[in-house]
Structure 1
């Protein structure tokens, strides 16, 4: 079915003049099709759908309590509903492949990937995979390399949450009890496990180089997680890892931005007024041009909430703000068919009601079709509530 959205205020690059936006054959159309269904968008902002390039909020649907795992098909179906209701039309699930047992183990990742493969055609959201590989997960290298052949092509993020465990001043070292509980181990057993892994540290650099090269051959987006400084950014750049995901310092973010690379920061950072771990503050970084994309990180409502906050502050142009949660992530992941309202673009839209620093999702279109609607009376011919 083709659609004409009438009466909305467009926001985003390529936005048409006037208050009509047409969806024909799943894409934005300049003229519209005869007999198209009308959606009353009056009083709403019509924007490109949100694109989330890193979110692990689905883990709470998979394991709502430490040591309790649910069927991944149930978890993914619920995640799809949450994503869509929050205006996210394209999302990468940050599936951690770690050296830990339990929630973030290779075995759990296999079950998730298998469930995603079975269910993918049933999702409303265009749900994709980010292989969030821990660089000390050395026994997972062959499997991760094989997953790089999946379609649509996964992204791969290179993470090191291991090295910090040996520095007593880091938040990671201070959280061993939490990590042990997540893994289903005692603290002592967890310490023994990381001691065994530390003995394999010489294998790490070759494993990183192998997977970076494999990802480049596959055409998979490559992200480096938690870069502390410019030297680390340069080292990752030399490996062809050209997206800086959650850089920990202004220095690291600036090194990426100055090279024209994508810098991803957390949308919760904006919403909360700063990083929960004391890292780079996303809001001023965005205003300075040191942030290309905002990701949900661990909280799916955050991208829309962050955009609403930035729009209300008025320090950035509205298109630039929305670019952080739509066009910027699309660019980072190599998607050229979404993130704008121009004719020919994929019909992924979110219709929101703005109220100062807050916004509420009223309707979502994915691939030119309605995927979620809080006010169905806006569809022509529907019954208007009394």
Structure 2
């Protein structure tokens, strides 16, 4: 934990606005101005730490090559270092529980959640977990609920990536053979499993309603993924699923807003100017007031790039743009103690070079998770 500090000389973003302000840290919290050791951060920006509501960029650290990562904990530590180097102080690691197997299968999910639980006490970044559950897996509903309970997973998102239109016609999904061989499965058995899941889809709604109720009773936040229609989103809302992740159409996002549900979009979508697969533009949804926060999705650096883009393009003022990657996602996740540099909040902040906008330091809960160069010299003195 850092000692009591007064950060002076920097331009800071606080509830009072953006400008040269003093930011005080004490016992892991933002505090009122008081006699403390001063650190001169002239030439830098002090901003609220980024809150990532959904990201899978950690995967490359856990399994860079098949069989390369025997100690999953080492991969989590490496992922945390990348998160911190990108100014992220709270990260949601989105892990699949899917019929697809391999890194998306239940066994791998068990290893990931075990590793996060084991190494979290050694890390500064607040690593939170999300279970991305494939709804056609009817025989796994009890096991998934048990996994959520055992690992105290606070956030579950429902997915369905089966190619139902192809399976309905009796055809083979694209890339089936390569996907099966990659995870060590016989392609024909893999196809038969997919066909079995597809054949039972009429049983899913009733089972899903029970599972959603059970998870809600456990205090778990629930989200849906890739909604396309108003009816889809209304159905999810009726089941207590109040977060719409990456809706694919304006229609679905509008339905979420009308129901009072949160919408999360991908920061890479903003940076690119559109979705990589032709879905709704995050920029359009933000402009229309239909987005509550941005997530890293698959690329951690995109979060701060998206915020500066939104501000410079005049879509939002700087406070609103930065809020898309800090206070907005914090509210979506129900984290009332972070997202702003307000008195009493967690000391979660990122220090950027005012000219290059490089991340020079990240502090999470009053602990340094990343620090380098001139900022490190000024802190050390």
TM-score, normalised to structure 2, is 0.91
Within 5 A, what are the aligned runs for 1:85-96?
Answer: 85-96=85-96
User: How far apart in 1 are the matches of 2:168 and 2:66?
Assistant: 24
User: How far apart in 2 are the matches of 1:192 and 1:87?
Assistant: 45
Within 5 A, what are the aligned runs for 1:277-288?
Answer: 277-288=277-288
User: How far apart in 1 are the matches of 2:86 and 2:375?
Assistant: 20
Residue 22 of structure 2: which of 20, 23, 26 is its match? 20
> Deviations along 1:287-313, whole A, 9 cap, x unmatched?
211111111111111111211222222
Residue 9 of structure 1: which of 8, 11, 14 is its match? 11
Unmatched 5+ residue regions in structure 1?
A: none
User: How far apart in 2 are the matches of 1:157 and 1:81?
Assistant: 25
Q: 2:59 maps to what in 1?
A: 59
> Does the aligned pair in 2 maintain the 1:228–1:252 contact within 8 Å?
yes
> Does the aligned pair in 2 maintain the 1:66–1:182 contact within 8 Å?
no
Q: Quick check: 2-11 or 371-380, which moved more?
A: 371-380
Cα RMSD (Å) = 2.4
Report the CA distance between 1:105 and its aligned residue.
0.7
Within 5 A, what are the aligned runs for 1:232-243?
Answer: 232-243=232-243
1:75–1:168 CA distance, 2 compared to 1 (3 A): farther
> Does the aligned pair in 2 maintain the 1:308–1:354 contact within 8 Å?
no
> Does the aligned pair in 2 maintain the 1:364–1:373 contact within 8 Å?
yes
> Does the aligned pair in 1 maintain the 2:136–2:204 contact within 8 Å?
yes
User: How far apart in 2 are the matches of 1:156 and 1:52?
Assistant: 15
Report the CA distance between 1:122 and its aligned residue.
1.1
> Deviations along 1:133-189, whole A, 9 cap, x unmatched?
1112333322321233357652000111114462799xx944435643553335444
Report the CA distance between 1:361 and its aligned residue.
0.6
> Does the aligned pair in 2 maintain the 1:95–1:109 contact within 8 Å?
yes
Report the CA distance between 1:23 and its aligned residue.
0.7
User: How far apart in 2 are the matches of 1:99 and 1:68?
Assistant: 23
Report the CA distance between 1:230 and its aligned residue.
0.7
Unmatched 5+ residue regions in structure 2?
A: none
1:218–1:37 CA distance, 2 compared to 1 (3 A): farther
User: How far apart in 2 are the matches of 1:344 and 1:163?
Assistant: 48
1:140–1:323 CA distance, 2 compared to 1 (3 A): same
> Does the aligned pair in 1 maintain the 2:156–2:223 contact within 8 Å?
yes
Within 5 A, what are the aligned runs for 1:47-86?
Answer: 47-65=47-65, 70-86=70-86
Report the CA distance between 1:374 and its aligned residue.
1.9
> Does the aligned pair in 2 maintain the 1:54–1:92 contact within 8 Å?
yes
Equivalences, count: 377
Q: 2:340 maps to what in 1?
A: 340
User: How far apart in 2 are the matches of 1:153 and 1:214?
Assistant: 13
Within 5 A, what are the aligned runs for 1:175-190?
Answer: 175-176=175-176, 179-180=179-180, 182-185=182-185, 187-190=187-190
